[in-house]
């Protein structure tokens, strides 16, 4: 059939056609199960050189060299496209039995297209509603929302990270020694690196971070109070997104690099936060087609400029941090202390490998949760009042502007923690960011009763999981903190804690969770305890959720809030 189609469409002499058929089928068999690696140019060079064989055999039958070349290359790419599409739609494909859109089975470029508007989590939610718990979302990728399969995917005996992470690198690759915790796909190397990170987030280091955290919270409180005092009525209209991002970036700079940012004081003079927001857009697309990463950086210089700027900033801060004497026991002080046996070893490779991780995970993630907490509380003022009452009871002097907060007390406040959990349930930090794949060289892995062949990726869409009525009901789409308080006593409330994974799960879960939760509790307690807040008059609150976009992490629009101090 294939032979007749090609012969009818692009009639070729017998010998060149035989050569074409052999080269097309051989190339197809070579590439059919595995996407080309993002850091290798060999497949692309091969795709340019292989058709030249057919062109050579066709030269004697063509009117000119240019005709031979054009016919050979057109025939080769047509044949390769045909065999690829036919195989991916055929019943012989390893994922043929799993349902999903036909176009998604053909190419991951469909995922890129659906991700452009930033609403890919909602699209995956529609697919799972239509097709069930296991959906084929790519030629070699499944999306799974079956809770019973999560341990085999994400758990202790689960799988390493998938190819999506190959398309999200923003700093140079260190081929001699890989120190990047989040991008490392080897389970062995990840386990080695994770030991130092675990120790860096143990109890004693957290005390060092807590001191830095409280210092920055007081600066944020002071800046908001200053804006209120500038108005005769004692109130101010602020874009809370901007100020929370300033705070988070300053905190990250102190925690990761010892210093380097004073946005709460000076604002974003260099426009870095804007670059950060634009810079994560390209990696959010190339993650789905990692083989296209280096091509995209060259094809779209305007788009990639912000991405490269993030990498350049990370390298610059890493050089400064590794060359200066340590004045604060920051994150990389503790990680390096537990990584290197020789204290004279330069920490630069370690720092530069993880600098982007520190920037994104240390600033963008917590700022998204904080902004969403403020939004949901102002959109549901009954919970705002409940939380204020709870904080007033626990810390009576808080509304006088002082900060006698104790984290041990904050961890026990039911409504504070319920509101944080409910926010992360509805708007998880990584809406579609969890992807795993069988270990290279393993051949594949059993996931429940399903054999997942090597070269197949598994996506676990947290956004879809957290809104699944099988695991969270009633009102899975509604902000309803009561579920976290009443579920033990009320059998009608379904709340499956095993599926609540805003920080992922298993050995690759978020190592910074203790610090993140500490930051969330402290900042929310300060904002709600020290200020009265409501949406700015005339601001359309419906715009907030419309502007939330999945760019690997969440990007946000304006959150316009009227604030005034609660001081007596």
Structure confidence by residue, pLDDT tens digits, 86-122? 999 999 999 999 999 999 999 999 999 999 999 999 9
456 φ, ψ (degrees, to nearest 5): -100, 135
- Of 48-62, 93-107, 473-487, least confident by mean pLDDT is 48-62
Give CA–CA dist 252/259, Å, rounded.
9
Residue 192: which residues within 8 A CB-CB, separation 6 or more? none
For residues 312-340, give the mean pLDDT.
76
Residue whose tokens read 């500038």:
230
Mean pLDDT, rounded, for 536-564: 93
Residues forming beta bridges with residue 459, ordered by sequence position? 143, 435
Binding residues for heme: 510
Give the C-alpha separation, 502 to 509, whole Å: 9
Is 401 a residue whose pLDDT tops 70? no
| Helix %, strand %, coil % of the chain (to 5) | 60, 10, 35
User: Residue 341: its pLDDT value, please?
Assistant: 63
Q: Is-contact 135 486, C-beta < 8 A?
A: no
H or E stretch covering 274: helix 272-279
What integer pLDDT is reported at residue 496 of this predicted model?
Answer: 96
Which residue would you say has higher pLDDT here, 353 or 91?
A: 91
Higher pLDDT, 240 or 352: 240
- Rama region for 475: left / alpha / beta (φ>0; ψ in -120 to 50; rest): left
Question: If you average pLDDT over each of 15-29, 36-50, 356-370, which comes out highest?
Answer: 356-370
Helix (H, G, I), strand (E, B) or coil at 118: coil
Structure tokens at 500: 């609540």
Q: Give the separation between CA 513 and CA 494, rounded to whole angstroms.
A: 25
Query: Higher pLDDT residue, 61 or 368?
Result: 368
Question: Please, which pLDDT band fits residue 488 given cuts at 50, 70 and 90?
Answer: very high
User: For the CA atoms of the chain, what is the radius of gyration?
Assistant: 27
Per the CB < 8 A criterion, the answer to whether 280 and 311 are in contact is no
Quickly list DSSP for 135-196: EEEETTEEEE--GGGHHHHHSTTS--B-GGGGGG--S---SS----TTT---HHHHHHHHHH
Cα–Cα–Cα angle for 8, 12, 17, rounded to 5 degrees:
105
Residue 225: its pLDDT value, please?
Answer: 94
Q: pLDDT tens-digit profile of 70-79?
A: 777 788 888 8
Q: Between helices 14-31 and 51-58, what is the axis angle to 10°?
A: 180
Q: Name 123's Cβ contacts closer than 8 Å, sequence gap at least 6.
A: 114
Please determine, for residue 172, whether its predicted confidence score (pLDDT) is greater than 60.
no
pLDDT(175) > 50: no
The annotated binding site is made up of 510
pLDDT band per the 50, 70, 90 thresholds, residue 9: very low
Average pLDDT (232-244) is 94
pLDDT band at 551 (very low <50, low <70, confident <90, very high): confident
**More confident of the two residues 342 and 348:** 348
Question: Which H or E element spans position 451?
Answer: strand 450-453
Confidence grade of residue 539 (pLDDT, cut at 50, 70, 90): very high
Model confidence at 301, pLDDT cuts 50, 70, 90, reads: confident
More confident residue, 80 or 150: 150
Q: What is the mean pLDDT of residues 511-521?
A: 93
∠ Cα 260 266 267 (to 5°): 95
User: Do the Cβ atoms of 560 and 539 come closer than 8 Å?
Assistant: yes
Task: Check residue 465 and give its pLDDT.
Answer: 97
DSSP 334-352: HHHHHH-SSTTS--HHHHH
Q: What is the pLDDT of residue 135?
A: 98
Average pLDDT of the chain is: 85
pTM attached to this predicted model: 0.90
Higher pLDDT, 273 or 349: 273
* pLDDT at residue 406, as a whole number: 87
Predicted pLDDT at 176: 46
How confident is the model over 390-406, as a mean pLDDT? 80
Residues of the chain above pLDDT 90, percent: 49
Q: What is the DSSP string of 516-564?
A: HHHHHHHHHHHHHHHEEEEEPTT--TTHHHHH-EEESEEE----EEEEE
CB-CB contact of 168 with 287 (8 Å)? yes
How far is the CA of 22 from the CAs of 14, 173, 262, 300, 365, in angstroms?
12, 37, 63, 35, 50
Look at residue 402 in the predicted model and tell me its pLDDT. 67
* Per-residue H/E/C for 277-318: HHHCHHHHHHCCCHHHHHHHHHHCHHHHHHHHHHHHHHHHHH
């Amino acid at each position: 059939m294939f032979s007749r189609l090609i012969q009818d469409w692009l009639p070729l002499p017998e010998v060149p056609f035989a050569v074409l058929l052999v080269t097309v089928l051989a190339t197809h068999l070579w590439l059919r199960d595995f996407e080309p690696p993002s850091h290798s140019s060999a497949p692309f060079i091969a795709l340019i050189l292989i058709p030249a064989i057919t062109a050579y055999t066709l030269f004697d039958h063509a009117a000119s060299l240019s005709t031979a070349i054009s016919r050979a290359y057109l025939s080769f790419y047509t044949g390769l496209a045909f065999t690829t599409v036919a195989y991916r739609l055929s019943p012989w494909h390893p994922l043929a039995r799993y349902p999903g859109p036909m176009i998604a089975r053909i190419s991951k470029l469909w995922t890129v297209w659906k991700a452009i508007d930033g609403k890919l989590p909602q699209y995956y939610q529609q697919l799972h509603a239509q097709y069930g718990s296991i959906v084929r979302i790519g030629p070699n990728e499944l999306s799974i929302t079956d809770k019973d399969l999560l341990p085999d995917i994400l758990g202790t005996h689960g799988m390493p990270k998938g190819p999506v992470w190959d398309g999200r690198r923003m700093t140079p690759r260190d081929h001699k020694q890989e120190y990047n915790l989040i991008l490392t796909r080897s389970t062995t190397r990840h386990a080695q690196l994770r030991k130092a990170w675990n120790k860096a987030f143990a109890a004693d280091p957290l005390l060092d971070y807590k001191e830095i955290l409280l210092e920055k919270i007081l600066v944020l409180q002071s800046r908001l109070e200053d804006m209120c005092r500038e108005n005769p009525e004692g109130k101010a209209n602020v874009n809370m997104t901007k100020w929370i991002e300033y705070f988070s970036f300053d905190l990250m700079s102190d925690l990761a690099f010892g210093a380097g940012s004073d946005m709460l004081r000076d604002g974003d003079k260099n426009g870095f936060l804007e670059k950060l927001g634009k810079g994560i857009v390209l990696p959010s697309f190339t993650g789905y087609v990692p083989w296209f990463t280096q091509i995209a950086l060259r094809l779209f210089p305007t788009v990639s400029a912000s991405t490269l700027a993030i990498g350049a900033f990370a390298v610059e801060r890493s050089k400064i941090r590794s060359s200066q004497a340590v004045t604060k026991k920051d994150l990389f002080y503790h990680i390096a202390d537990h990584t290197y046996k020789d204290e004279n070893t330069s920490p630069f490779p370690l720092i530069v490998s993880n600098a982007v991780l520190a920037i994104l995970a240390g600033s963008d993630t917590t700022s998204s949760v904080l902004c969403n907490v403020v939004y949901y509380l102002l959109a549901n003022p009954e919970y705002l009042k409940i939380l204020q009452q709870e904080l007033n009871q626990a810390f009576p002097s808080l509304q006088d502007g002082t900060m006698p907060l104790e984290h041990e007390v904050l961890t026990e406040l039911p409504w504070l923690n319920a509101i944080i959990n409910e926010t992360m349930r509805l708007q998880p930090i990584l809406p579609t960011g969890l992807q795993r794949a069988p270990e290279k060289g393993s051949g594949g892995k059993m996931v429940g009763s399903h054999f997942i062949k090597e070269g197949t990726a598994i996506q676990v869409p947290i956004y879809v999981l957290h809104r699944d009525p099988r695991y969270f009901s009633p009102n899975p789409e509604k902000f309803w903190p009561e579920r976290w308080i009443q579920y033990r006593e009320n059998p009608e409330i379904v709340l499956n804690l095993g599926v609540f994974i805003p920080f992922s799960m298993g050995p690759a879960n978020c190592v910074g969770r203790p610090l993140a939760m500490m930051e969330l509790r402290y900042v929310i307690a300060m904002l709600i305890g020290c200020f009265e807040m409501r949406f700015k008059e005339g601001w359309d609150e419906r715009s907030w959720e419309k502007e939330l976009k999945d760019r690997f992490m969440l990007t946000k629009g304006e959150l316009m809030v009227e604030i005034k101090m609660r001081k007596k």
